[in-house]
Each structure stands twice: as structure tokens, then as C-alpha cells.
A and B are shown apart, each in its own frame.
Chain A
């Protein structure tokens, strides 16, 4: 492959883009992929409702922004790396231009490693405060390795107030070892900016992986979660809760790949939409021919608080095995008026009744978050956003 060609493709996408002199192998593969493809537009099925391409059309400038901070937790190694071997080995499965762009442009990877057998109880918190200006683009990379029999709880919190035509692209690769456990929580609240996040997960046998993503603020949030169940007897939970107001657009795309028998996946995504906001949910559960005895459950439920809000929900179940239990369902509707009246008839005012019902609606997702502190912070933030939605 010619150096000139890949450089020219990248420079078309992001000016000032040149890969760092590290991770050569994975970068050249990603650049090769980019050379044959383009940043997808709304014509692409996976991007039908979400137009990130417009940001590139106006020109984006690559800036360095490795500003993820973290607390120190006993039993967890956290360091920046330019040569960690595992980096790139799950992202390779993502045949997706934004993931390839991340791979070609991130500077260094934040590596989080829990050694074999280590049980970490304290939550590791990654704080990423985004400060991008108009026209700026940045790519960050995280690698989480939970070795065999180890366990970890990790939160990645995106905040800050990036300007409206900037884009942050983060890719997190996750390896959950044999009989290991990981709970990975995301909170996304970035004011007016645009955020493109991808999580690529591989689970080994007997492991347990839970991820919860709560989206509260952002012009455009696109969250991809791809989970590959590679060993038997894996239990995985993927949940999301999103609240949209104004012209916000939040998009969740998930894929659970059941490759082997005897695994279980549970997925609940729920959202509340007000104003002129647009939500997208696309959840794919893929059960391969060998993955007998799979249990796969998926649901997506949405409540629209305004006539001008739109939800695009697409659950997809693809099953090639013949002995599985799978179900999926999607609902989008208004708040139950009978329930609101019932609560008001007991003395709660209209907002109190609405908030109680909507908090309960969120509760099914939030209860999967084990940290009481995080749960209680989120409950407060949800209340605040409900107040804004009422206004």
C-alpha cells in the first residue's frame, strides 16, 4: 500500500492528520481500510438517522487531547502506552470507518490492567473533560484488561463543554478473562459537543460483563457497543438510559455476537425524549450456528414527552442455531395518563407524579449500576434534566 495514498485519504478527512510513529501494524491496516471506504453518510444503513459526516464536510483539525484523568485504586495498573501488545486486537473486528480513524490517529493508549485473581472493590473512575474548540477533532484510546479470575468496576465519565462543531472519537477495547468480572459504566454529559464512542469487548469463558451507558447531554452522541462472547457460560448485561431535550440526537448501536453455546445476554435500553430531539436505537443480537443453548433478551422502551420528538428503534435478532431462547421487543409511547391521574388523586402534583413515573422507568436500568454513589448522582442529574424538560 502506498504511503501517499493513505495519507491523502486521512488528510481529506482530518487536516493535519498523520499517524504517530507507534502501533505501526494496526495503523497501516486501519489506513488500508480507510483507503477503501469513506466516513459513512446518511445513505449508509447504520447512519441513516445520524449525520456525523457533516462535521467532516466542514473540515476538522486534528488536535492532541489525551486528557483522561483517573483515581488511584489498589490492585489496578493504569498507564499510558505506545506499545501495548493487545491494543488493536479487538478493534480489528470493527469494520467501521470511525473505529479505523481512531486506530490510525490516536497518539497513545490508556491501559488499565487487573492481574490474575485480583478482586478490586473500589471503583476506578476515568474523567474525560472535553475542551475541543469549533473545527477540532481528537481521538482517544482506552484498553481494559481484566485477567482470569480478576474483577473490576470502572466508570468512564465524559464531561466538559466542547464547542458545537468539534468531535471527540474514543475507542475502548475490553478483554474479560476466564471467570473474570467487569462492570463498565459510562456517563455522557458534554453540553453542546459531538461524541463518537465505541466499545469493543471480548469475553472468555465463565466471565461476567456488564456495561451501562447513561446519556444526558450532547448535540450528538453516538455510542457503539460490540460484544463478542468467545467462551462458554458467559453472562453479559448491556443497558442504556438516555434523556434528550431540545435538538439533541443520541444514537445507540449495539451488537452481541453469540459465537459459542451456553451464553446469556440481557439488554435493556430506555429513553425519555422531549423537545425536538431524535433518538436512535439499533440493537443486534447475532446467534451463530454453533451457539446452541443461547439465552438472549433485548428490549428498548421509549417515552416521548413531546409531539416533536422522534425515536427510531430497530431491534434485530439473527439466529442460526436451532436450540435457543431469545426475545426482543420495542415500545415507544407517551407517559401513561391514567397513572399520572392516579398519583395526582393521592396528592402528588403533576411534576411530582411525572417524575416518580419516569424515575421508576429509569430504575430498571439504573439498578444494574452497583455503585450507590454513582446511582444517587445519576438520580439527581435525571431529576434536574426532567425539570429542564418541563420548562
Chain B
């Protein structure tokens, strides 16, 4: 059975239609890359799937592991195992990473019928996940994302993903603006989390990330829908030729 099935999804923000009949099926164990020019709807897709209420869904349906995703509050989606790594992680002064993660992990465990971890076990679990993304120990005690560099923020997103152990991870331009070291660390983190029952959707502008996280499928999003799908070779072709040839093909057709 598929993990995520998106059928004919349409969404708008501030009266502007962005997604216009988007379809995608993701099976456990798969990595899908979604590429596309600016304004094609990539981030809207990520926000809609995570439940951001600034976006209005105007049509279509989304099935997540047998449940109606669009019917769920953002926190229910998270507890069911959907994780969005934000393009722009939010700074939260006064809330430490540790307390934030403790609250989040407790909620997710409760949903799965598990007791909260005692302090000692929680800290051990956190240490293990921190190492996965080579996150500096000091960052964990600081306020969430406050004063973090761009690379630290993105690593913190992958760290949170590791902590919450989702079924589906959506990475919204996690690679944008990262230097090669940070990119390698982020990609390694994701690769270590990969398993046969988890899936990832990697939204990106650049082919570079896909050298590190090798996708099973590559989709091109343009004007709110997928206009072409292929394997990782499609990404290389896009890198070489840009998006214009696809736009031209579409206008000719």
C-alpha cells in the first residue's frame, strides 16, 4: 500500500491559485525529488501537506497511510508521522531546543501509546540523534534556532526529524544556501534515516543535493502540477539545460 497518495490537489494563497491539480504517489522506502523553477508551487505543496492554515485547499484529496491527511490538524499530521523540514526554520526566543524536543517527543510517543522517556533516557536518545547530524552539543541548550547560522538551522531541522522518527520526511529546499560541508552533513543525516518503511520527498531547486541523496524518482513541478517525471537522469538534464526547454515544450504542445 502506498504511504502517500495525492490526487488532483489544488490550493491557493491570498486569492492566488498555486497548485492546480497535483498528483503524486509515494511508497514506503522511496525517495522522490521535486524540482521546478521559482514560483512553480514547490513550497506551497510542502506547506499544504504540513497543514499551514495560510494556504487554502480548493480541491483534491490526500491519503496518508490510510487516513485523510487534509482532515487533520498540523499536530495530528506530525504525530501520525509526517515531518516537514522548513525552508525557513522559525526562531523561538526563550524556548530551549531541549525543552522543545522533550515536549514534541512526548506528544508523538503519547500518540503511539508510549510513556514519556525519563530524563536520562531522553538525554541519551538526544545525544545519539545529535551525533547523526553532527550538531554541536551547545546548540541543544540554546533557544530554538535563535542566532543559529543558516547551516545550523538546517541541521537542526534534520536533528528534529531524527528525534521524531517520522514515516514521511519532506525537505523543503533544505539545501538552499548551504556550503558543501553543511550539505554533506544534512544529506548524510537523511541517508542514515532511510529505511524500507520510510519515505522522503526532497524539494529542491538544485541538482547538487541529489548527488548526495539519490532519488528514486524526479518530478518537475511547473505552474502547479507535475509536468514530467523520470529518474535521477532527469535531474542532470535539468541542471544542464535549465527549465526553459520544459516550458518551451509545454507551450508548443
Interface residue ranges, A against B (CB under 8 Å): 336, 338-339, 341-350, 352-353, 356-357, 360-361, 363-364
Contact = CB atoms under 8 A, between A and B. Distances in A.
Interface stretch (B37-45, B82-90, B238-246): B82-90
B75 A347 contact: yes
Q: Which 8 interchain pairs have the tightest Cβ spacing?
A: A360-B94, A347-B107, A346-B104, A344-B74, A342-B90, A347-B78, A360-B95, A344-B75
B52 interface: yes
B94 A364 contact: yes
A343 B100 contact: yes
B160 A346 contact: yes
Given A353-B75, A356-B99, A364-B94, 19 more contacts: A341-B52, A342-B86, A342-B92, A343-B92, A343-B100, A343-B104, A345-B51, A345-B77, A345-B84, A346-B78, A346-B164, A347-B75, A347-B104, A347-B164, A348-B75, A349-B75, A349-B107, A352-B107, A360-B95
Interface string B62-96: 00000000000111011100011010011011110
Nearest to A344: B74
A59 to B, nearest CB: 47
Given A352-B107, A356-B100, A360-B95, A344 B73 contact: yes
Contacts of A345: 50-51, 74-75, 77-78, 83-84, 86
A357 B78 contact: no
A339 B103 contact: no
B79 A347 contact: yes
A338 B104 contact: no
Contacts of B136: none
B116 to A, nearest CB: 13
27 contacts: A339-B90, A341-B52, A341-B53, A342-B86, A342-B89, A344-B51, A344-B74, A345-B74, A345-B75, A345-B83, A345-B84, A345-B86, A346-B160, A347-B75, A347-B79, A347-B111, A347-B164, A348-B75, A348-B107, A356-B99, A356-B100, A360-B92, A360-B93, A360-B95, A360-B143, A361-B94, A364-B94
B108 interface: yes
Contacts of B86: 342, 345
Given A352-B103, A356-B100, A344 B78 contact: yes
A362 to B, nearest CB: 9
Contacts of A356: 95, 99-100, 103
